[in-house]
Amino acid sequence: MTTVAGSVRKMRVQLDQPVSYVWQAGSEEVSVNSWLGKRLSIEFEGLINCVHCDRVTKKSFNQGYCYPCFQRLAQCDSCIVKPEKCHFSAGTCREPEWGESHCNIDHVVYLANTSGVKVGITRGTQVPTRWIDQGATQARPIARVSTRYQSGLLEVLLAQHVADKTAWQTMLKGNGADVDLEAHQQELAKLCADGIAGLQDSHGVQAIQWLDASNTVAIDYPVLEWPVKVSSHNLDKTPRIEGTLLGIKGQYLMLDTGVINIRKYGGYNLLVKVYDDA
């Protein structure tokens, strides 16, 4: 039996065939792929440490922050979800230095095949991690922009014609059919030509670069069996869960008893036991 305990972070990922997952808890790092087909127990030990300041908190906010950090930190602000309302660009950022290093840098606007084709954005340094965390089976950069604010403006424009959300239950039921993301990109370029040109006129052609020659990346996940019905475990309501690990996709562990989103429990002190018998 293998035992891993500590304050959890989202699983670290690497684009291999299939994706490699690493469990991060305190100072421990363990391959999650090696748990496939084995029986697990995951127990919430009743303690949550803020993922930023490490203080003990009774409740987690925004996937792992204590309330003071949630209120104070720029990385917890609403514009992280809606970058077209970027506070750094507006001059109202809670932490201008953080905004300078995280928002005033190159971002990638991309198309991904998750539960269907969607548009998304991420920092250039987070490719392909962001795609894997979303459970994309295909992804393709379609534009490179100079700031997070500009990426948000372009995403809003493109989202008039393509989804910008993932239906996570559908994503976990299996890999959908491959799609031609290049063709989708070309169609969006036609549909949004005037809007893209307007953004380039306002911000500069070099600030918003359409990437016609990028490549589509295929992503394969370690899955033995897909769930027929997707039901999720909640450690706040049921502190101890058990099941056989059938697959990993996005930041989800897929057990035969239900799925659990590990990213949701950032900062939770979890005790994981991996049994040698299946």
- Please state, for a pLDDT cut of 90, what percent of the chain lies above it: 97
43's CB contacts (< 8 A; 6+ apart) are 239, 240, 241, 270, 271, 272, 273
pTM score, whole prediction = 0.95
Confidence of residue 251 (pLDDT cuts 50, 70, 90): very high
Please say if the pLDDT value at position 17 is more than 70: yes
- For the stretch 74-78, contacts whose Cβ atoms lie closer than 8 Å and that sit 24 or more positions apart, written own/partner, are 74/98, 74/99, 74/102, 75/102
**32: three-class secondary structure by DSSP:** coil
Please say if the pLDDT value at position 26 is more than 90: no
Q: What is the reported pLDDT for 55?
A: 97
Q: What is the reported pLDDT for 278?
A: 53
The answer to whether the peptide bond before residue 18 is cis (omega within 30 degrees of 0) is: yes
- Please state, for a pLDDT cut of 70, what percent of the chain lies above it: 99
Task: Tell me what the mean pLDDT of segment 5-14 comes to.
Answer: 97
Neighbours of 125 (CB within 10 A): 12
CA distance 47 to 45: 6
Please say if the pLDDT value at position 104 is more than 70: yes
Is beta strand 39-48 parallel, antiparallel or unpaired with respect to 20-25? unpaired
Q: Which residues pair with 4 in a beta bridge?
A: 272
Q: If you average pLDDT over every residue of the chain, what do you get?
A: 96
**154: three-class secondary structure by DSSP:** helix
* Helix ranges (DSSP H) in 107-258: 129-133, 148-158, 168-171, 181-191, 193-203
- Write the pLDDT tens digit of every residue in 167-191: 999 999 999 999 999 999 999 999 9
Is beta strand 240-249 parallel, antiparallel or unpaired with respect to 39-48? antiparallel
- Do the beta carbons of residue 39 and residue 256 sit within 8 Å? no
Q: What is the reported pLDDT for 228?
A: 87
Q: What is the reported pLDDT for 163?
A: 96
- Which value, in Å, is the radius of gyration of the alpha carbons in the chain? 20
Q: Which residues pair with 108 in a beta bridge?
A: 122, 144
Q: Give the containing element (helix H, strand E) for 13.
A: strand 2-14
Cα 162 from chain centre: 19
Cα 149 from chain centre: 19
Confidence of residue 265 (pLDDT cuts 50, 70, 90): very high
243's CB contacts (< 8 A; 6+ apart) are 39, 40, 255, 256, 257, 258
Tokens for 270?
Answer: 């979890």
